[in-house]
Structure 1
Amino acid sequence: MAFLAAALSGRDVRVDRVDGGGLAWTDGRAIHVDAAASKDLQLRQLCVQSALLASASLNGDIVRRLRRRPALARRYLAVEGHRALAALADVLPPSMRTLIDASRATHSRSPDESLAVALSKVEIEDAPLAFGEIRAREWLAGERREGGAGASAGSEHVPRRQRDARGEWPEVESEDAVDDVASSPVGGGGGIGRLLQNLLERVRQLKGGGAPGADAATHLTRSGSRAGVVAVRSSRTAESVDDAFGKGTGIAYPEWDTHRGGYRPDWCTVQEAEPPIATHATVAWLDGHELRRPLARLGMGLDRFHRQPQGDDIDIDAAIEMQLERLAGSSPQEAVYVESQRHRRDLSVLVLLDISGSVSQIGPAGTAVHDQQRSVAAALLTVLHEIGDRVSLYAFSSRGRSAVELVPVKRFDDALDSRVMSRLRSLVPGAYSRLGAAIRHGTHLLLTRAGTPRKLLVVLSDGLAYDHGYEPVYGAADARQALGEARRDGVACLCLSVGAGTDVETLRRVFGSAAHATVPSPGQLHRVVGPLFRSALRGAEGRRRAA
């Protein structure tokens, strides 16, 4: 059962059988099921709680809203449980798919929307016994324990702020979130605010330098969520992407405001900028030979061959002709099958490379994160191109919401030549990372430029989403939302953090239920790249067929 829980939830989680006949629950590190229940009920409890973990249903913001509100927690679970199970329908054991109520699973498309439904006055049927319960106090206690362990191990620790008006603790994930105090209308104008701004100037320089954007900061206020929000790409019209960028206006995308529970339409402007050609010494790239074998097995489209001596289906026309020939007294050929074979590649891959200031930091391996992730990008670009996939590579950084910049190292129709590698060598990390806007633009390019049935977005990032007015909690929620939008459009998503040493929980907050992993060094990528690619493509296959 522990193996199944780890496979479904995407994390290392144990299974505890507890005496006493209580409902199943999880604290993130273990799933607790009723020891006295039948094996079938235990398995159902395990699947539901694993689905909640995999779908980021129990993120800190939401669980804090459920604390000391058991009735709201039950209503939320009754809505979110079906949505989370439906998201894992293609990997659930067949006997467990009966847990999903398809009509109720469509009531929301994200944990935030499920919470909005639970907060509304809509009548909600109680969750089945197998759904268990949400124990907010135990979950938050587990989060605090993990935070303490991380600090003692040498990671940076920032004290939490004082309680807000409701007596709750706002979440602060890194020193960047403290910047909101200095930039807020309350603290920014006073002496304390100015002092904090001066002290945090060094932090901004480490994050890449440069003046932040002109947008106002987003503060840690949490208003009620609104249901029925639908993601849109942009309300600006342009004949083409090239036309929009040619006029210097860029493309506007919405941004998810987790504090208000809704989208900010046309909030971010993405612009493409050609990189300078590098003149310095060549870079030692990762040898992609070991990546070729696991990647060559992926992205193969099925061709159906008729009148075969064996196969997985009957060729009706050939079977009828065979019977007619027999009735006519001749000796027919018994090649009456249709055989499906994979002979062609039908995959397009767009690699998004994070070049914000944070990736200039030296990773645990003693090498800059930027150099390691750039090496992986070069290897993926080369191998995927050589095995016949359509591939492109864009680097991204930002300086405020109106200046999200993507550098087209290689577009889909560009040749893979020395100029591409020169562009890749020329990339220098700096500025910030408005991750959600980069993901939305990458998705847009895949949907409009890929030209193949299967589409995969690979994000290479340290997982630190930060910009002016884009503090970590807000940025993580927007990145998760952008990945969810891409997957709903049938785009497979894979997020890799190579050499950064970012903790697993931070990556989970940013990348949510999308396939993601942290790889200690580029040389270890070949061990996991096959399963990760398959997981991402399998998750998008069902949506692509439904469309």
Structure 2
Amino acid sequence: MMASALAGRTLEVKYDEARVGAAWTDGKIVYVTSDGDLKCQLRQVCSQCALLASGSLDRDIIKHFIRKPKLLDRYLALESKRALKELSHLLPPSYPVEEYSRSIPDSESSYNSLEIALSKADIGLAPASFGTICPREILAAVAQEGGSASAGKHTPRSQQSEPMKELSDEANDHEDDNAHDFSSPVGGGGGIGKLLQKMFKMVRDVKGGGSPGADAPTHWSRTGSRAGAKAVRSSAQPETIEDAFGKHAGIHYPEWDTHRQCYRLDWCTVQEIDTPIESHADVEWLGGIGLRKPITRLGMGLDRFHRQIQGDDIDLDAAIESWVEQAAGSAPDEYCYVESQRNRRDLSVLVLLDISGSVSQASTSGRSVHEQQRSVGAELITVLYEVGDRVALYAFHSQGRGAVHLAPVKRFEDNLDSQVMNRLYSLKPGAYSRLGAAIRHGTTELIDHGGTTRKLLLVLSDGLAYDHGYEPAYAAADVRKALGEARRDGVGCLCVSVGADTETETLRRVFGSAAHATIPHPNQLGREIGRLFRSALQSAESQRRIA
């Protein structure tokens, strides 16, 4: 029970007679030594569960340690210390982490631990309670569960004669309905569930009737999937939005299972919902965050101008005419070049606004995170629209994998008018944040409807991705995967947290290598937005070329 609570998923604890003196895990079972006392075994369980909960045993990292025992030992020391410190508030008081790891340097992430391990830095020996890491066993367990995603094909759900098939019980044992107390603090109504709610401190308040869960009802319909190294594009071409959505279904997207290192195909259902208009925005949303000047310089497409005095190519028609004039004894025309100039807008931006329950909390400025992010969203779409870019804004929250709700405040084809602002200012925070599904849907909308060469997905969120069956480590891995999919498709990704007190390490763990920033106050965004936009767009272009 304790192992499952620490790791955030169902685990077994067993003795392993074959590896006396070293605890280890394959991701499903934690093996402890049989020759130690109960206190020693407890520390071994804590160490191995901390590695699992912190993403330390990710396949992309573990593969570096095959036949490299010295490198593995150095990484184990660094990463065990980092993982245990992250879970220090959950560990038994009898586990003195600092006492065991004073000679081991600090690390900021699992990849940072790998970098330090590869360097020549002095690293102290890991205590025996840290156990060991068995790369071959971990990779074998991942391969046994199916470590690659299958390509899928999109068909509208309205044409299906059977309901969506779930994974088998064996493939989804850690998500069993009877294991809610371990897999999700949200679903546990008993003593353990309440205890885990307090321990993780990540549960969001659901406003509205009913309880969140994977079986939440659906109301809209369209089917799609984005998975694997490249997003799966839809081959179905419905004639209208109504044909695409139908009446009683939703758009299906995969989700990355970091524990099994594979995609869960058609796992999440995204529903686009209308926002009831309950307020009337006034002109204060034009208060000005100083975004116009830096944004105006961005997103310019290249136009080619002929008959220029200098340029990056030769204008053949002008060059021939100049040669003929010179041969005829006239003074030749020197305007014989083609020059490329950025004079037209070539940027589409989709803003994803987090309206989950956590953003309703007040920040140090006295305003809620939601109010500050909403004002930034209003200013962004206003400036982008006025300078000529294509822009859309969707708000999102979720109540289980079957009800990821996105509210189209402004679609790409909509004009920016009072109705858009009224919808924006009528949004109310509540429920949870299945951020990976929201990013995949936003990416699909950008690719299908952006209509420009340059595309940017801008996420305004506090970075607390959490939902039923979507615990922190699992959620962070899924969000990083979704952002990676978007960037491989040539979509720039920028994640901005405004007014939230989320720790930098948490944001780095969730957003990974995508451009992201924490802005204490909306008025400070103008100084950073130009650099952030450029970084996101350049990174996407590089990823697209590699892919």
Q: Normalising by the residue count of structure 1, what TM-score does the alignment of the two structures yield?
A: 0.66
**Percent identical:** 58
1:270 is aligned to 2:266: no
Shift of the 311–185 alpha-carbon distance from structure 1 to 2, 3 Å rule, reads closer
One-letter amino acid of the counterpart of residue 206, structure 2: G
Shift of the 325–284 alpha-carbon distance from structure 1 to 2, 3 Å rule, reads closer
> Match of 1:447?
447
C-alpha distance in 1, partners of 2:307/2:424? Answer: 49
C-alpha distance in 2, partners of 1:393/1:484? Answer: 21
C-alpha distance in 1, partners of 2:508/2:317? Answer: 52
> Match of 2:147?
none
1:339 deviates by: 1.2
> Match of 1:219?
none
Q: 2:291 is paired with a residue of what secondary structure?
A: helix
One-letter amino acid of the counterpart of residue 208, structure 1: V
1:194 is aligned to 2:190: yes
One-letter amino acid of the counterpart of residue 326, structure 2: R
Q: 2:56 is paired with a residue of what secondary structure?
A: helix
- For residues 404-448 of structure 1, give each alpha carbon's deviation from its aligned partner in whole angstroms, at most 9, with x where no partner exists: 000000000011111000000110000000000000000000000
One-letter amino acid of the counterpart of residue 509, structure 2: R
One-letter amino acid of the counterpart of residue 406, structure 2: L
> Match of 1:207?
205
1:199 deviates by: 5.2
> Match of 2:301?
301
How many residue pairs end up in the alignment? 403
Residue 137 (structure 1) aligned to one of 64, 73, 77: 77
State which drifts further: 202-211 or 370-379.
202-211
Q: 1:302 is paired with a residue of what secondary structure?
A: strand
C-alpha contact 1:349 1:457 (8 A) present in aligned 2: yes
1:231 deviates by: 4.9
1:9-408 alignment, distance < 5 Å:
64-65=56-57, 114-115=60-61, 135-142=75-82, 157-159=89-91, 184=179, 194-198=190-194, 206-209=204-207, 210-214=210-214, 229-233=228-232, 237=236, 239=238, 242-279=242-279, 284-285=284-285, 287-288=287-288, 290-408=290-408
1:182 deviates by: 11
One-letter amino acid of the counterpart of residue 299, structure 1: G
1:489 is aligned to 2:489: yes
Q: 2:269 is paired with a residue of what secondary structure?
A: strand
- For residues 17-44 of structure 1, give each alpha carbon's deviation from its aligned partner in whole angstroms, at most 9, with x where no partner exists: xxxxxxxxxxxxxxxxxxxxxxxxxxxx
C-alpha contact 2:412 2:450 (8 A) present in aligned 1: yes
Shift of the 281–196 alpha-carbon distance from structure 1 to 2, 3 Å rule, reads farther
1:341 deviates by: 1.0
C-alpha contact 2:56 2:79 (8 A) present in aligned 1: no
> Match of 1:462?
462
Q: 2:193 is paired with a residue of what secondary structure?
A: helix
- For residues 125-163 of structure 1, give each alpha carbon's deviation from its aligned partner in whole angstroms, at most 9, with x where no partner exists: x9xxxx999744235435656887xxxxxxxx5448999
State which drifts further: 359-368 or 297-306.
359-368
Shift of the 480–320 alpha-carbon distance from structure 1 to 2, 3 Å rule, reads same
1:510 is aligned to 2:450: no
Shift of the 490–276 alpha-carbon distance from structure 1 to 2, 3 Å rule, reads same
1:364 deviates by: 2.4
Larger Rg: 1 or 2?
2
Q: 1:493 is paired with a residue of what secondary structure?
A: strand
One-letter amino acid of the counterpart of residue 521, structure 2: S
- For residues 302-344 of structure 1, give each alpha carbon's deviation from its aligned partner in whole angstroms, at most 9, with x where no partner exists: 1111111122333244223322322232222111111111110
1:290 deviates by: 1.1
C-alpha contact 1:63 1:140 (8 A) present in aligned 2: no
Superposition CA RMSD, Å: 3.8
* Structure 1 alignment gaps of length 5 or more: 1-58, 66-111, 149-156, 170-178, 217-227
C-alpha distance in 1, partners of 2:332/2:191? Answer: 92
One-letter amino acid of the counterpart of residue 459, structure 1: V
